[in-house]
Amino acid sequence: MKYLAAIALTFTIISSPVLADVDADRDITLVTKCTPKIFPSDREGLPPSVSIEVFSWSDTTKVCNEMMRVLEGVRHKDITNFEKAVAVLHFSQISYGTDDMQILKELIEIIRLRGLYDKPDRWYETNNLIVRAWNAFNGVVGPRHIITFLRSAGPDAAKGLSDDGLTRMIILMKHQYQRGD
């Protein structure tokens, strides 16, 4: 029963806007300030639609600040995407961990190591790939493993790695795990 609930939560978070406003997934407004917009007259700040239900406004502000510290060109929809990825990794059947900020930092580190810190259009696919690999391989390959691989590959190789290359690397890591390497 727990397994079915975890699958339902994963599918819900990835596939539908149940935990976030539909507009939040499409809002390409650049983030200029990581505080919530409280009044309609506020010109800067994050709209309520950016934060998903499992994150408090305090958490969303921390997510935004951490992203703004490392990444360039952060948009409202990117904050929502990172929050969803963290929630799926946290609440999946095989939980990646309970420290949401640590999970977030690891996702951001993967983006940075791949040289995508200033390419926001590539962040969604990277997070999606990591979340799907975690769930598909039952927690065998997670963000920590990917970071270790990217660091050991060196900056040029890590930055030159395509999404297909990253997928192949994750599959290889899963096979190594199965063999006991």
For residue 22, what pLDDT is reported? 61
Residue 21: what pLDDT? 55
Residue extents of the structural domains in the chain:
2-179
Nearest Cα neighbor of 143 from 105, 89, 107, 111 is: 107
Mapped onto helix, strand or coil, the DSSP state of residue 146 is helix
Query: Strand runs (DSSP E) across the chain, as ranges?
Result: none
pLDDT tens for each residue of 38-48: 888 888 889 98
Per-residue model confidence (pLDDT) at position 8: 47
Low-confidence ranges of the chain (pLDDT < 70): 1-22
Q: What local confidence, expressed as pLDDT, does residue 5 receive? A: 47
